[in-house]
Amino acid sequence: MPARRIALATLAVLILLLGGGIGAGIWKGDWQPAPKLALDLEGGTQIILQAQTRDGSEIDDEAMEQARQIMSQRINAMGVAETEITVQGGTNIVIDVPGQLDQETSEAIRQTAAMSFRPVLGIVAPEGTEQPVPSDGGGSSDAGGEGADGQDGATGETSEAPADPSQHQFDGLPGTDPAMAPPPAPADGELPYPAWSMDWLTPELQTELMTADCVDPGAQQEKVTEAPSDEPVVACDPNGTAKYLLGPEVVAGAAIKDSGVASDVTPTGQATGYYVVNMSFSEEGSQGFADLTTALYNGEGATDAFGIVLDGLVISAPQVQEPSTGGEASISGNFSQDEASQLSDQLRFGALPLEFEVASEQQVSATLGADQLEMGLIAALIGLALVVLYAFAQYRLLAMVTTSSLLIMGLLTYGTLTTLSNIPEIGYRLSLAGVVGLIVAIAFTADSFIVYFERVRDEIRDGRGIVAAVDHGWDRAKRTILASDAVNLLAAVVLYALSTGGVRGFAFVLGLTTLLDLLIVFLFTHPLLQTLVRTRFFGKGHPFSGLDPARLGRQVPAYAGRGRVRPSAERGTRARTDGDEAPREPIAVRRARLEREAAERAAVVDGTPGEDAGEDSPSPDTPSPDSASEDPEEQSR
């Protein structure tokens, strides 16, 4: 099969797969048949968060920018959705979310409190009964729970769970016996007891532990968020399946330098099929985490577990299997990759340098966006019509290749954007800046066609046949097209990496359409032109084909570079004269001419030159060679 047919068949398969995927998504799932729109086109929700420091100090620009970046990373981790996050007024962060604000995005935006690491003093049932919630028995597994039964499915390495202190924590509480002396007064900045000591359990905390209802975690969440960091708290897990008694904060969440996900392996190096979460701490946080894990590992605490608290909820409560003194630690268990990634994102993006509260939340109307979208589409249609008119005026019916290529380009772009919009992990939304990128893409795509067609026409002017001109013109044009699109793609990548918001949407569309332009030119435009020039209309150079050698001025000197031109005589014997090609030579005439030329060459070799040496019989008016040699005087004259 010719290469041109393979290319066209490949493009057809790609279009069918793209269309079939969208159709299946609409039929089986909740896909939409069109790209989703961003805030400026569809409307959406605008949330303004007001910042405040924990100690009442002045808010600096660096802390605000750090908070903005962390919020952006939180939301971007859920997919590209044209969400804009900006700092305004020095103390406000404005978040523009397009479309309907889903629950996951709403929770990610409102998770603005600090993260902390606290020792676990006890675990009880969420209703507050004395019956303890069984530990998951897993070394460093997450006791926080992801399932409805209070377990997170992460049993980790097998190790017997320690006796839960909540089973005996009410037998004799420090401070309940009036005869007991009060604790010594602590020095400034120091705790009266180690954070992991049961001495923190006061009658008031006992009452709170018994009465707190974690079936609805939100009721207790606000109390934990507002509690001082140097006091114990009663906190719930996010699913409302366990209630934790936690000691004072030992390490702040801001001390986490990084976190990531890796495959879990056995001591022999065999993969278990599960994943672990690795985290590293800053220099200041490393010492506090080392003291916490060492004390819990040596049995100095009420339990051997510590809780990771984010926004007043215990997102994880791993048990300590060994002290972490090097500033690095890992949380292991039967985590799936999604569960491990979620916990890693919470650790990495959870801690903010400031506290925020929602100052306002309002819906943005889509009326203005609809008008902008309508005007953008009209502008795109006008640009497309102008390109098509120019193509027909310049290239005659060859413009059909340009028009069909633009239609295929539009079809692929529409299908690709629709697919990216419906994939939850990506969640692309088309903004007004993206529409501008689509309009600009029309010019870039038309430019590739113009480069190709002009190269082919140059080859025809240079004396080549039309079929050969297409092949040689393509060899020259594709290098120019690749260089041009490479520059466009590089610009799009740099712009996407360094920008935010709408400009980023423009860069994304620009890069996408540049890649599709290459796909169209290589798999459609060139193969289609190769097919057309093998037809009589285009292959013979019809005046309306756009490849007519007479209209292209084959007799005109061609530019040879460096200020030089080549006249028609230097460009081959097939150059036109007076607008007509040299007539074809019949086979019989050509055979007679070749025989005559062969006889002439033979006569020259034999030393008997003559104008009619190759003819079968001499003309009666022409003297023969013998008679010429008999008249020396006439011969010399």
Q: Which domains does the chain have, with CATH numbers?
A: 3-33+366-539 (1.20.1640.10), 44-109 (3.30.70.3400), 113-170+194-351 (3.30.1360.200)
Which pLDDT belongs to residue 195? Answer: 86
- Looking at residue 242, its amino acid is A
- pLDDT of 178 > 50? The answer is no
Q: What is the 3-state secondary structure (H, E, C) of 266-309?
A: CCCCCEEEEEEEEEEECHHHHHHHHHHHHHHHCCCCCCCEEEEE
Give residue-wise pLDDT tens across range 82-126: 677 888 878 888 888 776 777 766 776 766 556 889 999 888 888
Task: Calculate the average pLDDT of the chain.
Answer: 76
Retrieve residue 256's tokens: 């986490």
Please tell me the least confidently modeled range out of 166-170, 398-402, 518-522, 621-625.
166-170
pLDDT for residue 185 is more than 50: no
CB atoms within 10 A of CB 382: 11
Q: Is the dihedral of CA 275, 281, 287, 292 positive or negative?
A: negative
- As a whole number of Å, the end-to-end CA separation of the chain is 70
| Band of residue 140 on the pLDDT scale cut at 50, 70, 90 | very low
> Range with the lowest mean pLDDT among 104-118, 303-317, 401-415, 527-541?
104-118
Q: Considering only 79-83, 123-127, 156-160, 294-298, which range has the smallest mean pLDDT? A: 156-160
Predicted TM-score of the model (pTM) = 0.54
Pair 124, 132: CB distance under 8 Å: yes
Sequence length of the chain is: 637
Contact 117, 249 (CB under 8 A): yes
Asked whether 247 and 197 are in contact (CB, 8 A), the reply is yes
- pLDDT for the residue numbered 607: 64
Confidence of residue 200 (pLDDT cuts 50, 70, 90): confident
Q: Tokens 């200041």 correspond to what residue?
A: 284
